[in-house]
Amino acid sequence: MATAIYLEHYLDSIENLPCELQRNFTLMRELDNRTEEKKGEIDKLAEEYITNVRNLASEQRVEHLQKIQSAYSKCKEYSDDKVQLAMQTYEMVDKHIRRLDADLARFENELKEKLDVSGYESPDNRALKKGGGRGLKEKRGPKGRGRKCSDDDSPRKKKIKNSPEFSESLLPVHPSDVLDMPVDPNEPTYCLCHQVSYGEMIGCDNPDCPIEWFHFACVDLTTKPKGKWFCPRCTQDRKKK
């Protein structure tokens, strides 16, 4: 019964995900097309400038170069928008992956508790008793963490990674629950604890913060603070200045 509830809630939460991903990918494709058009415009302006530079007055040269610079600025603006969309898309998918990791950890704990109450003895425990502990030890691999991030960052600098809907639907998860999950070697780490993303996280409002993202529990937070928030390290640095 518990399995069905977890599955039903998770499927409900990802119902709109395909449409949201398609929308973001379409927007990124449009930004790519705009960038390519601007690059063609820049090539044309540069060619005109090189061809006519000797015949142009000083003011005309400046004006022509300003047009080229303006076109480059527009390209950069499109590229920045695309990066933001890519990060938003990553966070969108990652939010559901972290929720799945958390639900799996909670479900496993509930299952263990029920088995302990019922007095069920798992095959691992029986092997442990018969083999002096060798059976269980041989089956255990190195422990690792669940997956994330990137964070990053993000619209990352100013926003909590989890939306209000996600925060309300996800029950508190203890870090140790996630620590027991398999490690993704390519997954970035965050926070003062140098671990991957899990649960609720908050971004430091210092744009030069070397860490950027922090777990609520590691910085003694239970809810998102109002206004700007700076991590302990950046707070110390600001006091020294």
Q: Output the known binding site for Zn(2+).
A: 191, 193, 204, 209, 215, 218, 231, 234
Q: Which residues are annotated as a binding site?
A: 191, 193, 204, 209, 215, 218, 231, 234
Measured between alpha carbons, how far is 157 from 161 in angstroms, rounded to an integer?
10
Closest to 178 (Cα-Cα) out of 161, 151, 200, 150:
200
CA-nearest of 235, 197, 233 to 96 is: 197
